[in-house]
């Protein structure tokens, strides 16, 4: 990554640094990708505006974990919603139907860990580079079409509501 410093093999990504992408109305700032970690994991910071978040989905390969830094989220676990608050940690094993949404009136922020790496390429394929200082546009029909088309390539099954 061009936004990090390397010293004797240690990768340091400074606060506010990383490549940011808009996906499904959220902003994802990548701190480490598979390229950085020999494909072991991906780590990014997610900023979720009020009432935003991805549709329910299942990853067939990746373990996913969240650590909530600010705000509140509701996290779907199969068919029940869990309230997650600042400082809470969530682990989602492969094969689990899940989603998250911000029920509040202010943005939520969390760290997202995916292992193994590789799923970050889905974000790069369906999203768009974020413009500094701007909020992500809401999920539109073109992005939804790209998401539906790309999902199987990345071992993801989407659970969209009827009519979406």
97 class by beta-carbon count within 10 Å (0-12 exposed, 13-18 middle, 19+ buried): middle
Residue matched to tokens 């199987």: 152
Q: What's the pLDDT score for residue 1?
A: 40
Residue 2's pLDDT band, with cuts at 50, 70 and 90, is very low
Confidence (pTM)? 0.91
Mean pLDDT of the chain: 93
Q: In this predicted model, what pLDDT tens digit does every residue of 12-70 receive, in sequence order?
A: 999 989 999 999 999 999 999 999 999 999 999 999 999 999 999 999 999 999 999 99
In total, the chain counts a number of residues equal to: 164
Is the domain 26-112+141-156 a CATH 3.10.310.30 member?
no
- Domain spans of the chain, in order of start: 26-112+141-156
Who's near 113: CB < 8 A, 6+ residues apart? 41, 42, 43, 63, 64, 65, 66, 67
């Amino acid at each position: 990554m061009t936004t990090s410093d390397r010293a004797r093999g240690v990768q340091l990504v400074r606060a506010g640094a990383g490549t940011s992408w808009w996906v499904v109305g959220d902003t994802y700032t990548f701190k480490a990708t598979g390229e950085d970690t020999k494909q072991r994991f991906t780590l990014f910071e997610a900023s979720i505006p009020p009432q935003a978040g991805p549709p329910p989905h299942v990853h067939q390969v990746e373990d996913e974990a969240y650590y909530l830094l600010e705000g509140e989220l509701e996290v779907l676990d199969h068919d029940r919603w869990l309230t997650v608050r600042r400082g809470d940690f969530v682990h989602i094993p492969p094969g689990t139907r899940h989603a998250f949404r911000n029920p509040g009136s202010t943005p939520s922020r969390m760290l997202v860990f995916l292992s193994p790496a590789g799923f970050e390429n889905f974000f790069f394929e369906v999203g768009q580079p974020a413009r500094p200082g701007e909020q992500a546009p809401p999920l539109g029909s073109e992005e939804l079409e790209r998401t539906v088309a790309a999902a199987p390539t990345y071992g993801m099954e989407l659970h969209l509501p009827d009519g979406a």
